[in-house]
Amino acid sequence: MDSRAEAERSMFETSHVLGALLASSPLLTQAWNRSMRVNAGNARFVLDRSDDAVFVAFSGAHTDASPSAASSGLGGGFFELVPLYSGAHELFEPLGGGEGDDGGQPPPVLLQAGALRLFMSLYHSSEFQVLISETKNKSVVLTGHSVGGCMASLLGLYFLCASSARANAPTPASLLCITFGSPMIGNETLSRAILRERWGGRFCHVVSQHDIMPRLLFCPLNSMPNQFATLIHNLMQSWQVSMCNPQSSRSTLGMSDNQKAELHHYISMHISEAAAEQKHQMDIYRPFGNYALCSTEGAVCISDPLTVLKMLQLTFMTGDASSSIEEQHISYGDLVSKLSENLQFKKRLHSEEYETKSNYSVGVSLALEASGLGVQDMGAMEAREWLELSMCRRPNLNSASLAIKLAKVTPCRAQIEWYKDLCDDDMGYYDCFKLRKAPKRDSKVNINRIKLGHFWDSLLSMLQDNKLPHNFLKRDKWVNAAQFYKLLVEPLDIAEYYRCQLYKTRGHYLNHGRERRYEVFDKWWNEEKAANRKRSKFAGLTQDSCFWAKVEEAREWIENAQGEKNPTKLVKLWENINGFESYANGLIERKEVSIDVLAPRSSFSFWVNAVKEMKLKQACSVPSSTVLVGVTGGISAIAVARGGSATPLWFQLPPDGRRRGLARTEDEGKVGVVVVTIAGGYAETVPHLRF
């Protein structure tokens, strides 16, 4: 048995454990009680403080958000998927990043039209400012039943987007969103964006086994047969009556068994079609976050979107749905109570199950029972396969596997480190690799560079697909490993880019050649906020992994400046040159460069010498006592030669009468170059002025 199979055999299936943990928590009861209370009132939402947390419950029975109002839009309108329009797009901007399947721009994020309209109405109201002030820097639980859950989800996304976009945004300190029987609110692009941002753990959607509301939007609402549209409309009206009057007896339509069976079959058919569709379709609803699939036997918590979709189908098709299809959407209070009671009377599997199966297989069987499927029921075999497939992508197992793969590519990194040490005393490993001074050795380094790139790209792909733990980016091991890789290997990528002269066809590396992984690693490191300690010796690796790309651009500026006749362009070139020179000197003073940067024959050392020579060649002589003085509006700058000379290299006189000058000063044999800019005045030479 290989190591992966052994690891899987020793793993536990935890979806039923998470379900039991959720059922034992008071959070479900607390959230449901507040959802029921706001449904019975007239407000859009209620704020309620409990111990250290603030609960915000949204009404699912409010006039504009009620099932009855939503049902009027079954033919298009309320439940239609729409793109983020002007204003809303800015609020949810972080959701629009990432890449499509082809590496280009992803399809647009689409949201439920009715829920988005309700949220924007709340956002532009005075109530929203009260909500923001009451939740700022607090632990917040957002909740809602039915369409109220859609509002809770959108507010949760707003808070997460705001905190991601602005560090000082007035957002909660911690956030959890719990919904009950809520319709889905977005398409697959939204689902992927939430996976990419690692926000799935902030959402828990509680769904009863035969509740049609969370599954309804898989049906083609625009072409729904009239008989089903009428049934659903009437159902939603009866639900609204019950939600507004929770103490009274529940209102039912008295649907016939035949009507229930036909409606159940119609919805089951379309869930099956949605679950079978593996291609990315922009205009189809998709789940996001964690789903707590509940039955009278318990609950299972699942986060993988494909597995959630399949389990929504299989659990709905199992059991006698016709007897509960009317009531389950308004019976979450009973369900929450039964969940905690069932923990005390949990069924046990037969002892032979433990003897013949692995820990994981037993866990899957327990999960099937908790979901209401049972071990032998229809769909149990298919559900088992989906849970096992989900386990094969299990985040913790993948993380452990990645650690093994990292150990296997570590020798590649070590060989590049050895190569760098070997080159430091001559011209540095950047220039050695770029010039291919030792072809055989450089070829080996190039292979190692490519292997390391493939490893880190595969890691990012797993992150994108939510195959790694939610706290993966909080683990110092991986953040530090990614940073070390970037600092060591990106200079080689830059060298290869300029060796192949790709900058001539694509443009310079920084804007046109940098791999996405390095930008991601920059973000990881910046979020880590590493302490900026003062160094006593030069760094082992230059702390700006793009330093050599900036050197290459600076070399081009020097070449262009040598032949440039246009004063305006020359000013810009010298501003760039001096800006980079100041930046590089700052790195050197702080010892944030590796010693290979200062190697005698490095590209940077050649650049420094080229700048000095160019400044000297462009100098021309003037009387020894000449100075540049800024007048009219005050003296802004003076280039003075004390006992030597001030040599103007060039002057610019734009139409506005302002002069800019570059002068070389000689002071007792010391040579320096000063850029003189006179703001609000002009510059002139004043002979025979001595100090």
DSSP string, 604-664: HHHHHHHHHHHHHHT-----TT-EEEEESS----EE--SSSEEEEEEEE--TTS--EEEEE
Mean pLDDT computed over 518-523: 88
pLDDT of residue 679: 37
Q: Give the rounded distance of the alpha carbon of 143 from its chain centre.
A: 24
How many other CB atoms sit within 10 Å of the CB of residue 610?
A: 16
Q: Say which range, 320-329, 404-413, 488-497, 671-680, has the weakest mean pLDDT.
A: 671-680
Q: Which residues partner with 664 through β-bridges? A: 647, 673
Q: What percentage of the chain exceeds 90 in pLDDT?
A: 32
3-state secondary structure of 318: coil
Check the CA dihedral 500-506-512-516 and report its sign.
negative
- Separation CA 604–CA 659 (nearest Å): 32
- Separation CA 384–CA 368 (nearest Å): 7
pLDDT of residue 678: 39
- Distance in Å from the first CA to the final CA of the chain: 89
Yes or no: say if 483 and 525 are a contact pair by the CB < 8 Å rule: yes
- Separation CA 353–CA 518 (nearest Å): 49
Work out the pLDDT band at 323, boundaries 50, 70, 90.
Answer: low
pLDDT of residue 28: 92
Q: Beta 203-208 vs 290-295: how paired, if at all? A: parallel
Residue 336 CA: distances (Å) to CA of 19, 321, 333: 12, 19, 5
Mean pLDDT computed over 176-191: 94
Q: Report which residue type is found at 415.
A: Q
Mean pLDDT computed over 427-444: 90
Q: Residue-wise over 37-67: b if at least 16 C-beta within 10 A, else e?
A: ebbeeeebbebeeeeebbbbbbbbbbeebbb
Phi, psi of 80 (to 5 degrees): -75, 145
Q: Give the rounded distance of the alpha carbon of 626 from its chain centre.
A: 59
32 has a pLDDT exceeding 90 = yes
Nearest to 111 by CA among 62, 150, 162: 150
Work out the pLDDT band at 655, boundaries 50, 70, 90.
Answer: very low
Contacts of 257 (CB under 8 A, 6+ apart): 322
3-state secondary structure of 436: coil
What is the per-residue pLDDT across 82-133, written as a single tens digit (0 to 9) for each?
A: 888 766 888 888 887 655 544 456 688 999 998 999 999 999 999 999 999 9
Mean pLDDT computed over 436-440: 87
Contacts of 474 (CB under 8 A, 6+ apart): none
pLDDT of residue 616: 75
pLDDT of residue 125: 93
The winner for highest mean pLDDT among 102-106, 307-311, 348-352, 620-624 is 307-311
- Separation CA 447–CA 262 (nearest Å): 62
Between 199 and 426, name the one with better pLDDT: 199
Yes or no: say if 31 and 380 are a contact pair by the CB < 8 Å rule: no
Work out the pLDDT band at 471, boundaries 50, 70, 90.
Answer: low
529 has a pLDDT exceeding 70 = no
Yes or no: say if 22 and 301 are a contact pair by the CB < 8 Å rule: yes
Q: Order of strands, edge to edge, in the sheet holding 645-652?
A: 645-652, 660-667, 670-677
Mean pLDDT computed over 650-671: 42
Catalytic member of 66, 208, 211, 442: 211
576 has a pLDDT exceeding 50 = yes
Q: Say which range, 325-334, 489-498, 611-620, has the weakest mean pLDDT.
A: 611-620
Told to judge if 329 belongs to the known catalytic residues of this protein, a careful annotator would answer: yes
**DSSP-assigned letters across all residues of 10-61:** H----HHHHHHHHHHSHHHHHHHHHHHHHHTSSSSEEEEEETTEEEEEE-SS
Between 341 and 69, name the one with better pLDDT: 341
pLDDT of residue 527: 63
Yes or no: say if 124 and 159 are a contact pair by the CB < 8 Å rule: no
Q: What percentage of the chain exceeds 70 in pLDDT?
A: 76
Work out the pLDDT band at 341, boundaries 50, 70, 90.
Answer: confident
Work out the pLDDT band at 622, boundaries 50, 70, 90.
Answer: very low
Yes or no: say if 259 and 163 are a contact pair by the CB < 8 Å rule: no
Dihedral in degrees, nearest 10, Cα atoms 519, 91, 196, 471? 90
Helix 380-392 vs helix 305-317: angle between axes, to the nearest 10 degrees? Answer: 170
Domain positions in the chain? 15-343, 396-615, 619-686
pLDDT of residue 642: 35
pLDDT of residue 321: 62
pLDDT of residue 677: 42
Q: Enumerate helices (H) and strands (E) in the chain, giving the number of each.
A: 26, 15
Yes or no: say if 441 and 435 are a contact pair by the CB < 8 Å rule: no
Mean pLDDT computed over 637-660: 40
How many other CB atoms sit within 10 Å of the CB of residue 425?
A: 12
539 has a pLDDT exceeding 80 = yes
DSSP3 helix / strand / coil % (the chain, rounded to 5): 55, 15, 30
Catalytic member of 68, 71, 146, 295: 146
What is the per-residue pLDDT across 187-219, written as a single tens digit (0 to 9) for each?
A: 988 998 888 788 998 999 999 999 999 999 998
Between 616 and 390, name the one with better pLDDT: 616
383 has a pLDDT exceeding 70 = yes
Q: Say which range, 224-228, 297-301, 617-621, has the weakest mean pLDDT.
A: 617-621
The CATH superfamily holding the domain 15-343 is Alpha/Beta hydrolase fold, catalytic domain (3.40.50.1820)
Catalytic member of 16, 62, 145, 329: 329
Told to judge if 508 belongs to the known catalytic residues of this protein, a careful annotator would answer: no
Work out the pLDDT band at 680, boundaries 50, 70, 90.
Answer: very low
Average pLDDT for the chain: 79
Work out the pLDDT band at 250, boundaries 50, 70, 90.
Answer: low
Work out the pLDDT band at 531, boundaries 50, 70, 90.
Answer: very low
Q: Say which range, 89-98, 173-182, 244-253, 589-598, has the weakest mean pLDDT.
A: 244-253
66 has a pLDDT exceeding 60 = no
Phi, psi of 527 (to 5 degrees): -70, -25
Check the CA dihedral 41-44-48-52 and report its sign.
positive
Mean pLDDT computed over 652-668: 43
pLDDT of residue 417: 94
662 has a pLDDT exceeding 70 = no
pLDDT of residue 357: 60
Dihedral in degrees, nearest 10, Cα atoms 38, 41, 47, 50? -60
Check the CA dihedral 289-292-293-299 and report its sign.
positive
Contacts of 226 (CB under 8 A, 6+ apart): none
The winner for highest mean pLDDT among 344-358, 360-374, 575-589 is 575-589
287 has a pLDDT exceeding 90 = yes
Q: Say which range, 104-118, 313-327, 438-452, 632-646, has the weakest mean pLDDT.
A: 632-646
pLDDT of residue 689: 28
